[in-house]
Amino acid sequence: MNPELLKAARDLGENLHQSEPVEAYLRAKAVVEADLQLAERESYLLSVYHTLVQRQQGGEQLTNQEVQEYNQLSGELQRNPLIQARDSALGTLKSLFSSAGNEITNQLGMDFTKLALAPEN
């Protein structure tokens, strides 16, 4: 790989890592993880989600009660201010990365996302 391009990519990565949106997301994520009860509930919700999806993909019909219980727990977590702050920070971070990707695409004159996701030869 071109050494100048590699240096530019490393510099970009370092600048993004030190940006306020990344810092804000990492702080918000750490706050959620530090609340052990909240982190456990979120982990449990993810486990339930995967189980329900696997069952559906296996052809099983979920009961209304199962779906309602999942939706209730999901809603409770989504209304939690710590989860909301983390998810909001993540949204901002995604926007920053999208803008960076678009700027790289403009500079390169080709679709950066496609280029980045292409398998190496």
CATH number of the domain enclosing 43: 1.20.1500.10
Residue 25 contacts residue 92 (beta carbons within 8 Å): yes
Domain count within the chain? 1
Domain assignment present for 106: yes
Domain limits at 18? 3-113
Domain assignment present for 24: yes
Q: What is the pLDDT of residues 45-98, one digit of tens each?
A: 999 999 999 999 999 999 999 999 999 999 999 999 999 999 999 999 999 989
Domain assignment present for 20: yes
Domain assignment present for 119: no
Domain assignment present for 120: no
Q: How confident is the prediction for the chain on average, in pLDDT?
A: 91
Q: State residue 121's pLDDT score.
A: 58
**pLDDT category of residue 1 using cuts at 50, 70 and 90:** low
How many helices (H) and strands (E) would you count in the chain? 6, 0
Domain assignment present for 121: no
Q: Crossing angle of helices 81-108/36-57, nearest 10°?
A: 70
